[in-house]
Amino acid sequence: MTILHRFFALLLLSLPAWQPASADMLVLVHGYASDAGTWEASGVNAMLESRGWRRAGILSAAPAGDLFVPAAGEGSARRSYSVNLPAEAPLLVQAGLLNRMLDNLRRHHPQERLILIGHSAGGVVARLALLGGNPFDVDTLVTIAAPHLGTWRAAQGLDVVDSKPFFCPGPGIDFLKTVIGGNGYEYLKHSRGVLIDLLPATPGTLLYQANLQPHPDIHYYSIVREAPFRLGDELVPAFSQDMNNVPALRGRVTTRVTGAGHSLVPADGALLADLLGPQPL
């Protein structure tokens, strides 16, 4: 071996071992009467991928075993996972299942920046997962049209359940069509727990108690809907969508107002990409 070869060999040995660049991970949490497919059907996933966030698979709330599902996009610098939760279950049940998924994801990827995105009730579920000291080191929470202070629509749904079979066509039927998409009385009946959890935040309710709990010092964004002729959308008023109105988060949240209804739209993907910054070089 020549002197020059020895020099380069010593130089290589002195360098730190190569490590792949750390990746950013999105975890997308769906809302009530929905599932992981909502991010695909709405066009949000396609928009995110066009901005550098590759689809990396779906995390499911399996009763046991390894919840992590490696999929396409694993090697990307920015990856996006969708979760499947039992949307009719109480919020704390959903948050517990989400915690299991985040724990599993962290065991596979301990260093990456972790970002939670929650639509509608999924935004509340994602926020509940942060309580207790942010155990999974979430960096950012973004919620879209989420009822952080509850919604009167939950009370309307409970009225439908509690008055069956005696209710007549009226506001209750409108609730079924707006949220469920038809005659969803059976779904509403199985959803009674989550509807109670989504009642307007008053003393004694889950949201009232959760909104007073210490929240971690991370980045918070609220995407608030502004439908024609109203602040908010057909399901959640604007003040409830803005996390600045959560007592424990007042003044700590960046709010973006968008002109859309309650459902996800492709423009949400573009807005999320803008909020989360450019793709690293």
Instruction: Indicate if 101 and 233 belong to the same structural domain.
Output: yes
Which pLDDT score is estimated for 21? 45
Is 236 inside any structural domain? yes
Instruction: Indicate if 76 and 214 belong to the same structural domain.
Output: yes
- Provide mean pLDDT across the span 96-118: 95
More confident residue, 99 or 232: 99
Is 13 inside any structural domain? no
For residue range 48-101, what is the model confidence (pLDDT) as tens digits?
Answer: 999 999 999 999 866 554 454 544 445 568 999 999 999 999 999 999 999 999
pTM: 0.85
Least confident span in 15-24, 52-61, 132-141, 272-281 = 15-24
Is 16 inside any structural domain? no
Instruction: Indicate if 60 and 143 belong to the same structural domain.
Output: yes
Instruction: Indicate if 234 and 190 belong to the same structural domain.
Output: no
Residue 167 exposed, middle or buried by CB count within 10 Å (0-12, 13-18, 19+) = middle
Which pLDDT score is estimated for 280? 55
Instruction: Indicate if 163 and 258 belong to the same structural domain.
Output: no
Which pLDDT score is estimated for 59? 94
Which pLDDT score is estimated for 8? 36
Which residues contact residue 115 at a Cβ distance below 8 angstroms, ignoring those fewer than 6 apart? 24, 25, 26, 27, 138, 139, 140, 141, 142, 276
Instruction: Indicate if 94 and 137 belong to the same structural domain.
Output: yes
- Provide mean pLDDT across the span 241-270: 97
Q: Range of 192's domain? A: 152-197
Is 2 inside any structural domain? no
Instruction: Indicate if 141 and 122 belong to the same structural domain.
Output: yes
For residue range 182-218, what is the model confidence (pLDDT) as tens digits?
Answer: 557 788 888 999 999 999 999 999 999 999 999 999 9
- Which residue, of 197, 230, 264, is where some domain finishes? 197
Instruction: Indicate if 105 and 174 belong to the same structural domain.
Output: no
Instruction: Indicate if 86 and 169 belong to the same structural domain.
Output: no
For residue range 148-168, what is the model confidence (pLDDT) as tens digits?
Answer: 999 999 999 898 888 765 444
CATH number of the domain enclosing 117: 3.40.50.1820
- Which residue, of 197, 232, 262, is where some domain finishes? 197
Is 4 inside any structural domain? no
Instruction: Indicate if 221 and 117 belong to the same structural domain.
Output: yes
- Provide mean pLDDT across the span 250-256: 97
Instruction: Indicate if 89 and 185 belong to the same structural domain.
Output: no
Q: Is the pLDDT of residue 138 over 70?
A: yes
Number of domains in the chain: 2
Instruction: Indicate if 156 and 146 belong to the same structural domain.
Output: no
Mean pLDDT of the chain: 85
Is 98 inside any structural domain? yes
Q: Is the pLDDT of residue 143 over 50?
A: yes
Is 82 inside any structural domain? yes
- Provide mean pLDDT across the span 208-236: 92
The neighbouring-strand residues paired with 115 are 26, 140
Look at residues 83, 101, 158, 92 and name the one whose alpha carbon lies nearest to residue 124: 92
Is 11 inside any structural domain? no
The neighbouring-strand residues paired with 241 are none
